[in-house]
Every structure is written in C-alpha cells, then in structure tokens.
Structure 1
C-alpha cells in the first residue's frame, strides 16, 4: 500500500473540502491502493516575492523537502491557493520534484473563469484540479510533456489549455504507463 501525504498550505482547507475527491481520483489513477494523510503547513516567508505578488514554487518544493515528516512517504501532494511562478514564467498551475516525489498544485488560477475572471463553477474547478494533479503525478512517474494537446500530459501554459485537454492519458502515454 502506498503512503500519500496531502499538504495543505495555509488557507487551502476550504478549497480542499471542495476538491478532495478530485485529488483522490488522480492518486488512484496511478496507485491501486493508497492511504492519504493530511498535513497543514505554513508558507515560508522567503517563498513570497513581494515584487511579483506571487509565491516562488521552487522555494515551496524546498520547504517540502526540508520537512522530515514527509521523508518516508511514497508521494507528497501540496495544495496552494496563492498564485505561484517558476523561473521566468509568469505563473504555473503546478510543479513536480520528480526525484523526491513531491508535487504542488495551485488553485489560484484554476478557480477562475478565464473569460470573465469570476469564480469558476465547482465542476470546472474539480476537473481542472484533477487534470493538474494527474499531470504532476505523471511527471513523478517519468512522463514528460506530451505533444498531443488533448493528453493530460500536454503542457498547459493557459487555463484555456487546461480546459481543452482531456482528463486522461492519450494512447501513446497509456502504452508507456504499462512499462512503469
């Protein structure tokens, strides 16, 4: 049985109560049997970039890697409600540390309707979270970005791209899954 820890960064509890089934479904896609433990964690002060008004994702990964409670876990999924970025990208929805099997998904932009910037319907949020968690776990399993735009492993630089890809692996990626 696999051991999965879900880290809720401060403020993520209300969103988690909405998307917890989507996260569990993504975990169950890759793991037949998994126990899930929920852990709350503060966002480190050094992760805030005041100039950008965002969280630097690599510093959140670093904080997860420094948390000894996570050392013996098969997978760590962190949920964040703040906007985050990576290197020179304006924002990202998620990031994976493949070696340590740690992923972060931010719901900040997933919660919005890209055309109006209003709050997205709950069903849309759940599907987006499912896709992004599945995508990031896919990286942990060794999948790279897929050129098939309908595959969940395709790179999604915009919310439009997230919404337009399917919540599953394409045929090529499914065939690769059998090798893991």
Structure 2
C-alpha cells in the first residue's frame, strides 16, 4: 500500500511540473508545396515508429507574409505562427520545406537556420536547404526529431552525440547518434517509444 501511495505521489508531482502530458497531442506532418513527397512519407513513417499519433497532411502554400524579400527566404517565426493558426489546439504541427528559412539570433536580424520551434509549444518548421545532399534523408530526420524534441520542452543538450545538440551555426548532424540518456528518459515520460 505504501509503495502505491509513493508511486501515486510521484506521478502527481511529475504531472504538476508539466513532465507528464495530460493527453498526448497528435503530431501533424505538414509539408509546404514543393517539398519532396518521398521525404515527407519517409519522415512520417520514421516518426510514427517513435510516436504513434502522427497524421500526414497534403502540401499547402507557404504564406506570402512570411517571405523576406531582401534575402529571398522565409522567416521561420512567421511560419510557426501560420502553422499554429491552421491547426487545432490538441496538435503539434511539423512544417517541412526545401526553401531557406531564417530567424533573429545572437543579434543578427536574419540568421539562416535548419529549423525552429516553440519550446515548449505547438509547432516547428524544418528546412532541407542547409543539409548535405549525400545523406539528406538521414540528416533531415535528425533535425525533425530535434525540433519535435523542443516542442516537448527539451532544451539544447551538451552531449555532442545527442539529437538535441545545438548546431551553433554549423552542421554537426552526422556526429549525432540518438537522444542521450537524459533526453531519452524525458521523452519516454512524454509517451515516446524510445529504447533506454
């Protein structure tokens, strides 16, 4: 009886700290027009193995208001706002594009990036523009997991082989091998099917 009480109290504390979801949101894979259908299907299938509540949507047009004409690329923060506005509150939307995206970072108004997400939040957007062509599918999948991890509340990780590593303006993705033990534990609590 004492064991059950302690377990119940532990779950209550974790829940009140936001570490356990009340109900798992649906992940919506939302490609923008022009993005590879093959890569969309591949990402959807791979993510579904780790997180079963995944829906794949038909491509939509990039919103004109997100286009940054002077640099010929799209503002990722505007894309996040658009994605959230198009979907229900019980979803996390994963936007996919092949076009260049940017955000304001480190005092730079228009910093080119591979992805951006609300942390925690309901949307992320990933671009294949800055990834290596020779292993695009693998690199893209790792960036998708990184950004979804942020939507779950994970910060950047100091472990160099972890998917949650900060790219720091480069592309160290080939060095990443999986989520580290701490990030894995956190995502398992959130309902992810990850091996320890």
Distance in 1 (CA, whole Å) between partners of 2:119 and 2:163 is 17
Distance 1:152 1:99 in 2: 16
TM-score using structure 1 length: 0.80
Q: Could you tell me the TM-score, scaled by structure 2's length?
A: 0.74
Instruction: State yes or no: 1:176 paired with 2:167.
Output: no
Q: In the alignment, what sits opposite 2:39?
A: 18
Partner in structure 1 of residue 138 of structure 2:
127
Other-structure match for 1:79: 96
1:46-79 deviations in Å (ceiling 9; x for gaps)? 2111111211101111111222xx1154321111
Distance 2:123 2:37 in 1: 18
User: Is 1:165 equivalent to 2:173 in the alignment?
Assistant: no
Distance 1:35 1:147 in 2: 29
Cα distance in 2 for residues equivalent to 1:18 and 1:144 = 26
Which residue number in structure 2 is paired with residue 117 of structure 1? Answer: none
Contact kept in structure 2, 1:85 and 1:91, CA below 8 Å: yes
Equivalent residues of 1:19, 1:129 under 8 A apart: no
Instruction: Report the Cα distance in structure 1 between the residues aligned to 2:153 and 2:114, rounded to whole angstroms.
Output: 19
- Aligned-residue RMSD, C-alpha: 2.1
2:164 aligns to what? 153
Higher RCO, Cα 8 Å, sep 6+: 1
Larger Cα Rg: Structure 1 or Structure 2? 2
Count of residue correspondences: 163
CA distance in 1, matches of 2:182, 2:27: 27
Worse-matched range after superposition: 40-49 or 151-160: 151-160
